[in-house]
Each structure stands twice: as structure tokens, then as C-alpha cells.
Amino acid sequence: MASPIGRDGVGTVWRAHDSLLRRNVAIKEIQPRFGEDGADMHDARRRALREARSAGRLNHPAVISVHDLLEEDGRLWIVMELLEALTLKETVRHLGRLPVHWAAWIGFQLLGGLRHAHGAGVLHRDINPRNILLTGDRVVLADFGIAALHGDPDASATVPTVHVPTFVAPERLRGGPPTPAGDLWSFGASLYFAVEGRPPRPLSRTPAPRDPMGGGHQEQVARAGVLWPVLEGLLRRDPAARISMGQAGRMLSAILHTEGVALAPPRLPAARLPPDAFA
């Protein structure tokens, strides 16, 4: 028996049971786009294969695990691990915005998964608060539906309509190709959303130094606190000027050390959550 539990950018997610392996799983039905000639099953199949192959290359606690890809009666299904989780978007909607040490912990865990994906040559291309899952002891990056291999000549530079524009790197909105730096900008924008309770402001003009959003610097510092240098470094308009993944990780680690939050080894789930996390 299957029951719907949500949607992501490319389909409906169902809760189901794998009777062969006797485990509960999540199954995402890839729903084709409709055009003048009806459903585009070729495009749906291509996207399903891309997501399954991209996520299937990865094995990290901060990345959703993909078990299988099925096709039956013209319908496509991706079988994944089942997570009892809230998205970052839902969590912020409930709480308003997160304390700095919670946001830093989420960012540090997520960065481990992103580092693993980039190390395997996989660009996510759609990091936003809807695709970040919080389970209580894990932070998990999901929905690799428009992921691409870094350097793949077939990877489109066009920003798909499933994107959330406020979390897309400015160079991507200008038609530039997907790059690791673009993923880092989207990661920074999601971290900004976690601590500020809203997306970054549109990049409509050249920002003042140390203020990539073009708003008041003092206001940003008052809310983000010690997390502000990380956000400032990730959200620079020029991708070449952004801080690296390693720099961001060291900065987040230093914040968590100062806050007294324990961290696990890079490839293991965190030993414990920040005090009263997600209570």
C-alpha cells in the first residue's frame, strides 16, 4: 500500500513498503511535463535517469540514498530511502528563523554532503530550502532531478522552471553554465534563509562591500551574528570571489566550536544535535 507524503520539483513522493527486502521506502513518481503534443515521456525518462544516476553515484549521510529506478505501464518511479523529516522551508515557517548555532550546524552537515557530491563530479543545481531535509539527527540534501556532471557538455545553461529563482546564483540567472561555485551560492542563500527567515534580496544593483544583498550592513550583522562572514563570503556576485567549500567548512566548524556544539567525523552523522534542536 502506498500513500502520498509530498512533492518535490519533478514529481509526487509516496510512502511504500518493499516486500522483498522488508523495509519502508519512498517512491517518487516522475511526472512528465505536458506540451502541445501531450505528455513528454522522453523528457521524463531522461530526468528520472539523470536523478537516479546522479544520486546513485553518492554514498553520504547528508545525501538522499537512491535504491532503484522502475518503469511500469509507462510510469516512472525512483525508489529512495524513506526519511521522517521536515524540510528546511517547513522548519523556518514554523519557527520564524533559526538560532545562529542551529543554522551553522545545519550548514556544516549539509556542506559535507555537497563536498562529497562535488568530489564525485555531481552538481546539484537546485539547492534550496525545499530540498534540504531535517530528520532530527541528519541533514539531507534531496531532489537531484536536474543534477548534472561537472563539465558535461550536455548540461544545459538554461535555468529550468522548477528552480526557485531567489536561490539561484546570479551568474546562472544571466545564462552562465552550472559550476560548483553556483551550488555554493545556493547553499549560502539557503543558510541565509535559515538564519534570517527570508530569502536573500534580489541582486538588482552592485552591493556595498561586505553586503552582498545591497541592504543595510548593520541589520544583517544583528541577525546573522557570527554567521555573517560565512554568508558574505558565499553570496558574492562574482563566483571567482566567493569563499571555497573548505573555507566555509572551517568557518562553520569554528563557530560550532565556539558555541560548544559537538561535531562527528566528516562521513558520519552528528553525535548529537545542538541543545534543544528542533524541539
Residues forming the active site: 126
234, burial (CB in 10 Å: exposed 0-12, middle 13-18, buried 19+): buried
Give dist(CA 146, CA 50) in Å, integer. Answer: 7
Helical pair 88-95 and 180-196, crossing angle rounded to 10 deg: 20
Give dist(CA 169, CA 123) in Å, integer. Answer: 13
C-alpha cell at 50: 539523470
C-alpha dihedral (265, 268, 271, 275), degrees to nearest 10: 100
Pairing of strands 122-123, 139-141: unpaired
Contact partners, residue 130, CB within 8 Å, separation at least 6? 8, 9, 87, 88, 89, 143, 164
**Residues paired with 17 in a beta bridge:** 24
Which 8-state DSSP code applies to residue 131? G
C-alpha cell at 94: 514554523
